[in-house]
Structure 1
Amino acid sequence: MAHSVELKCLCGGIKGSVEIIPESFFHVHCLCIDCQNFARHLNNEANILDEHGGTELFQTYPAHMKITEGKDKIGCLQLTPKGLYRWHTTCCNMPIANTMRSPNIPFVGLSVKLMNFSSDQQKLKALGPVTVKAFGKYSRGDMPKDTHARFPISGIPKILAFMLKGMLRKRNRPHPFFNDKKPIAEIDSIS
């Protein structure tokens, strides 16, 4: 059964919501170096990364996410010329989400830190357990248990099926980070 979760950054300057629809999301724990570099660039590692340098993400379709307040406080960073767009708050330097460079790709990797849950139990009930722990080779300290050193090959067919389903059902629109094909913020690059 679908339900909505409130989104809010640390300072409350950006608000929105995301629909949690069964079979339309992945709950992942990413330890990749790009997520760590993004947190470092935002100068906010303590509020973003866990003790292993990981980030918890809720990957879903853009059509399921809305920004209702604070669009003027959204910035975007691209770490490499062909890399993801990494959307963040300019008010409290928190990650919002990752997207592909095109609004035609039905994918948004929302930071779970933005999702407003009253407890860890409520979060677990809404999202279920983390289903993929990836890029453990970049972890700080020992690699956490049940973590893949890279992205597991067994997950690729699931991701491709998810994208195809989203394309066929046009789940890329409306897109919270693009007005038609134009990003809602200027794309900064550090490369």
Structure 2
Amino acid sequence: MSNSVDLKCFCGQVSGSLEIVPSASFHVHCLCCDCQSYARFLKNQERILDEHGGSELFQTYPSLMKITAGAEHIAGVQLAPKGIYRWYASCCNTPVANTLGKASVPFVGVSVKFMCFANEQEKLSALGPVTLKAFGKYAVDEMPKDAHPRFPPSFLPKILWFMFKGKIGGKNKPSPFFAGDKPVSDVQRLAVTPAGK
């Protein structure tokens, strides 16, 4: 069973769609200091982060995501030499998605802020409940009671099985962020000051 969610940046110039496959996805909140630094870089903390400094992401396969308009505005940054690629719409600094640095890896973490929902109920109906809230030690003010201080080891087998299925099924392509083995735009290396504790 699957359905489709419309994607659109804050100003509407970048848009697309995401196929939602419950068996091939994780709805997560990340409270890590890197995500907070990234939001500061985009100068959109209030629109991107929740009250605890968390980012809401939907982790799935690149082949399920399409950019149908405004691809020329897709830009990428990297916070560390071996860090993930963080893609955003340069027209209005909307976070779009995170990927690893290699096109061969079947993983994309799509920002829920890049998705179109009428309300919270519609969002949860499409994406399902949040199944992981990680890196709570970096939360703004108090750590949420339902958050893990770091990444829980018990979640790792689920991620590895997800990656294995994606690799076998060739779910790394097509990708909106890679043309062959090359990123669709130059990925800028940032020098950032970590947020959090």
Aligned-partner SS, 2:24: coil
* TM-score normalised by L of structure 1: 0.99
Residue identity (%): 58
Counterpart residue identity of residue 163, structure 2: M
Aligned-pair CA distance for 1:95: 0.7
1-structure distance, mates of 2:40, 2:92: 14
- Residue in structure 2 matched with residue 43 of structure 1 by the alignment: 43
Aligned-pair CA distance for 1:181: 0.6
- Residue in structure 2 matched with residue 151 of structure 1 by the alignment: 151
2-structure distance, mates of 1:79, 1:59: 19
Aligned-partner SS, 2:176: coil
Counterpart residue identity of residue 159, structure 1: I
* TM-score normalised by L of structure 2: 0.96
Aligned-pair CA distance for 1:22: 1.9
Aligned-pair CA distance for 1:137: 0.3
2-structure distance, mates of 1:110, 1:48: 13
- Residue in structure 1 matched with residue 106 of structure 2 by the alignment: 106
Extract structure 1 runs of 4+ deviating beyond 6 A.
Answer: none
Q: CA RMSD in A?
A: 0.6
- Residue in structure 2 matched with residue 80 of structure 1 by the alignment: 80
Counterpart residue identity of residue 47, structure 1: R
- Residue in structure 2 matched with residue 94 of structure 1 by the alignment: 94
Structure 1 residue 126 corresponds to structure 2 residue 123:
no
- Residue in structure 1 matched with residue 162 of structure 2 by the alignment: 162
2-structure distance, mates of 1:96, 1:22: 20
Could you tell me which runs of 5 or more consecutive residues in structure 2 were left unpaired when the two chains were aligned. Answer: 192-197
2-structure distance, mates of 1:125, 1:73: 30
Aligned-pair CA distance for 1:190: 1.1
Number of matched pairs:
191
Aligned-pair CA distance for 1:126: 0.9
2-structure distance, mates of 1:112, 1:179: 24
Counterpart residue identity of residue 99, structure 1: T
